[in-house]
Every structure is written in C-alpha cells, then in structure tokens.
Structure 1
Amino acid sequence: MKKTFLILMTMVMTVAQAQEIKQVPLISVSGEGKVKVAPDQVSISISVETRGNNSAEVKKQNDEKIDAVIKYIKKANIAKEDYQTQRVSLNPQYDYEKKKTSFYATQTIQILLKDLSKYDELMEGLVSSGVNSIGNIEFKSSKMEQHKSEARKLAMKDAKAKADDFVAVTGQKTGMAYNITDNSQPFYPQRMYATMEMKSFDSAGGARETLAIGEIEIIANVTVSYILAN
C-alpha cells in the first residue's frame, strides 16, 4: 500500500513539474556568409607514365624519368615539404587481339606552388624534364582558416539581421541565441585540368597568359534559434 502511494505521489509531482515548465518563445532563422578571395597557391598533380614489353625495363625507364623530374623540382626551389609522391604502380596489360602482354608504369607527384607567378616556368620545366601527364590543378589560399572564420561570422550576422526583420513587426525584440547549428558543407577548392602545351608566345613576342586564377568562394551556413524578448 505504501509502495503504491509513493508511486502515485511521484507521478503527481512529475506532472506538476512538467506543467510549471514554460515554453520558451523562439524564432529560428538561417544565415549565410560568403567570402571571395584570390588564391595565392596552386596544387598540381603530375605523373610520369611509361609503357613497354618488359616489366623490369619499364620500371627502370620510369624511375629514371622520375629522378630527372625530382631533380628539376629541387632546382626550381620547391621546398621538400611542398612535393610528395602520391602513387606508384606497375601493371600488366593484355592485348587480346595481338595476344600479347605489355606493362604500364606510372608515378604521381603532388606539388604545392606558393608563387603563382612561377606557374608557366614550372610547367614548362616539368614537361621538359619528362612529365607526360598532368592531372587536376587546385587553387588554394594560404589564409584559408582565416577566411572560413570570416564567413562564419558573416553567416551569424546574416541570421541576426533576418531575425530582427521578422520580429520587428511583432513588437518584440530578438533576444540571446538559444541554439546554433553549423550547416556548412566541406570546402573543396576549384579544380581544373591542365593541357600538356608548352608556354607559347603571341605575335608581339610576349608570353601568353595560360592560367585563369579567378577567385575562391568560401561559404558558411548556419541555423540560429533566438529567444524572443518583449
């Protein structure tokens, strides 16, 4: 009997406490912050590819070409922490028509160029030293975290301005932020694929511009719930 009484009292107290909890008046809005900056770095993926009928000879030739490429990269004063081998492979390829097996060797190196004015010179030297495949090129900024922080602040300002607009007609005010949710998507730098053309010159003898840098766009999205104040 006592046990039943205690259970009933607990239930009554719980209901009473729930009734005392007041609903917090909120307004939820989304905000977007956008920052556009000119990149000051570029990441270049280069490869040396070699084909032949003898696996050992193919690997040897590929290693020799890569050695020449790495020596050029060092000569171009690229810091050792700014270039790295990404992939090395040696694979057989069978030709069903000729019923013959050939071999395909490749090695890929990723280079971070921190001086965009040297792009044409570097690309010309890489091709001359033995690079025969250029993959994607990604533009970057050395101040990316700073730009992301600025975009987040702009997103919060945008959300606050929207909340103020909505609340203005109700005679209330936007109070303190009650909940903040970051909806930003991962940032992926611009990519483009380069051709194997050497640096060319126009009719006036000047070097052609071969790199359209453009701008990097960093976007932050946020959802904010504000308490409504009288």
Structure 2
Amino acid sequence: MSEQKVALVTGAARGIGLATAQDFAAQGWQVLMLDRDAEELGRVVSDVPGAVALDCDISDADAVASVFNGIDRLDCLVNNAGVAQFGPIEQCDFALWRSVMATNLDGTFLCSQAALPLLKASRGNIVNIASISGLRASTLRVAYGTSKAAVIQMTKQQAAELGEFGVRANCVCPGPVRTKLAMAVHSQDIIDAYHDAVPLNRYGSEAEIANAITFLASEKASYITGQILAADGGFDSTGVGLPALRGKGAA
C-alpha cells in the first residue's frame, strides 16, 4: 500500500484555503495547514482530520525556509495565501504596492522554491491560486490584479522548467466567491452586478473552488501542467457582456 500523500495549503485558516484542506483530508491526504493567523488556525485545524498547523508568514523568507526544513514529504503545494487591498491607482503608494506583492507574489515564489526538493522527490505538483483579476482588468485592483497576473506567468515558468522532473504546475483563478469576507463588504448593488456579469448568474462557493484545486493535484490531472483554470462561472469568457439582452434571443 502506498504511503499517504501530503498536501501543504497556505492561507488555510479560512475561506478557500480551509475548504481545500478539508477536501484533501476527505480524499485521504495528510494536510499541512499554513497561515500567519495562528489564533484562527488553531481554532479550525481540528475541523480537518489529521491536519497539522504551521504558523508562518509567507512573505518572510527565513520563516518559510524554517517551516519547509521541517517537512519530510510533500506531494502538493497549494499557494493560496494572499492579501487584497482595493482602491484607486493614485491612492496606491509604494508601501501598499509592496505589501500586496510581498504576500501574493513573493510569498508564492518563496514557498515554491522551498518546496522544490520535496516535490522533485515525490514527483508532485504545485497549484497556485491567482484570481480572475489576473486575467481581466477591473477597477481598484492595480496591485492585486498585477500580483495575480504575475502568479499566472510564474505558473507557466514552473511548468516549463519543472516538467522534466515530473513536477506539474497549474493555476486556479477564482471568480466571485461567496466568502464571509466578500459578503461582508459587497453591497446588494455589487452582488447584483456580479450576478448580471457571470453567465451562471451566481457567486461560486469555497467548496467549488476547492474541488478544482484538488482535481489538479490529483492523478486524474496527471497530464495537465502549465494550465490556467478560471473557476468563475463563465465570468472571464464573457468579456464586455450585455446582461440586459440575456434571455432575449438577441444576436
């Protein structure tokens, strides 16, 4: 019988990260749950059978190195941790820009680099979590959208260079997701606008994004690498939509 596979999920204390950790565990994986919010991580780790909590800020290179030095086996790294700061371009000063890049881009790079020896040994894979904002521009997201676009390109670089070692790299770009945070800050007007813009006419769930992530991590995706999967209800496919014409039969 083969050894139990191990997945490490960053940003695992809540939202998509927690849902992904739960999905891996349900499929029999050992899960390492990493987050910088040690208090919240400590509260939820018991909700994931057999999971191990790792307290780490992924923007800290020394902290990342220390955590990965203590890991013996890794079959999948899910780079999910991220921060979002929204506002007009002229209000995005360099300190704000760097704070977003430090986690979303630098942290993804640092974790990926630290995981490489383990992933080469297991012929494992990386699943990076970007965003629909990395695929299509939208208002108030100059730092966030740019960081996620860079993660998409990093994924392709990883796939191109790591394939010869049997290591796959793919990326999931969530669209609007019904997280507690989103529902706390999205007004009804914003919710209605998203519903109009998304062909499936709704937000996605954290579990639906988790399903896409664990699929790419699984053997069912063994010949898939370098791919960018928009789990977005069709949002990216629509471009400039005309929701007023939906269902009218207009060409």
TM-score class, shorter: under 0.3
* TM-score for both structures, normalised by structure 1: 0.24
**More helix, by proportion:** 2
- State which structure, 1 or 2, has the greater radius of gyration over its C-alpha atoms: 1
* TM-score for both structures, normalised by structure 2: 0.22
- Which has the bigger relative contact order, CA under 8 A and spacing at least 6? 1
**More strand, by proportion:** 1
